[in-house]
């Protein structure tokens, strides 16, 4: 797995101690103040790869209509892999096979999301093996398939550029093994 990363969006205060914590807010105060009303949310996204090596991207209205990967909350008792498979199937209709966990990270109050949130996220690579596109219109508005390098030119939601870069590194390591 590639290394994780932290992206702090429009966080209300600057971390002030060696643990990168915001000292101005006592435990639970950020949630009570509406800064992260859902608390810490654990989510999984799917890097869906087709037989041409292209990655599936979709515009998401809740992410300021920027390009994102299919994904959502990990349910209690559900693995990261299972959540990526379930969310991707629900949002795209594709039949998928799991490949590898590519990256993880943290996103706090993204400038692109239309609500305050603190996410711990995991991006899982899945291969498309069948199924027809049935885009979940409540979550995603349009979609495209692009080569990873071309994805970096898209208007991606915050942190997804880092996901693409880490996926490209994974691809290179996969090629070296073959």
What are the residue ranges of helices labelled H in 66-141? 80-92
List residues bridging with 71 in a β-sheet: 45
pTM of the model as a whole:
0.79
Over pLDDT 90: what percentage of the chain?
62
Give strand ranges (E) for the chain.
Answer: 5-8, 40-49, 55-60, 66-68, 71-73, 95-108, 118-130, 143-146
Stretch 28-54: mean pLDDT: 79
Q: Does domain 5-10+46-177 have CATH number 3.40.50.1370?
A: no
Cβ atoms of 166 and 103 closer than 8 Å:
yes
Q: Which three-class secondary structure state does DSSP give residue 2?
A: coil
CB atoms within 10 A of CB 146: 16
pLDDT in tens, 108-138: 988 988 888 899 999 999 999 999 999 877 8
User: What residues does each domain of the chain span?
Assistant: 5-10+46-177
């Amino acid at each position: 797995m590639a290394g994780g990363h932290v992206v702090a969006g429009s966080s209300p205060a600057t971390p002030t101690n060696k643990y990168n914590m915001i000292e101005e807010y006592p435990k639970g105060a950020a949630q009570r103040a509406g800064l992260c009303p859902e608390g810490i949310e654990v989510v999984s996204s799917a890097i869906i790869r087709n037989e041409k090596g292209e990655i599936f991207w979709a515009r998401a209205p809740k992410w300021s209509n920027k390009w994102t990967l299919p994904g959502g909350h990990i349910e209690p008792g559900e693995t990261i892999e299972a959540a990526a498979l379930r969310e991707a199937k629900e949002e795209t209709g594709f039949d998928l096979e799991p490949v590898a966990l590519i990256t993880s990270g943290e996103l706090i109050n993204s400038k692109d999301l239309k609500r305050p949130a603190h996410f711990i996220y995991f991006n899982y690579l899945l291969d498309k093996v069948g199924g027809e596109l049935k885009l979940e219109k409540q979550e995603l508005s349009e979609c495209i398939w692009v080569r990873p390098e071309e994805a970096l030119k898209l208007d991606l939601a915050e942190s997804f550029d880092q996901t693409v870069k880490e996926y490209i590194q994974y691809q290179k390591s996969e090629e070296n093994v073959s």
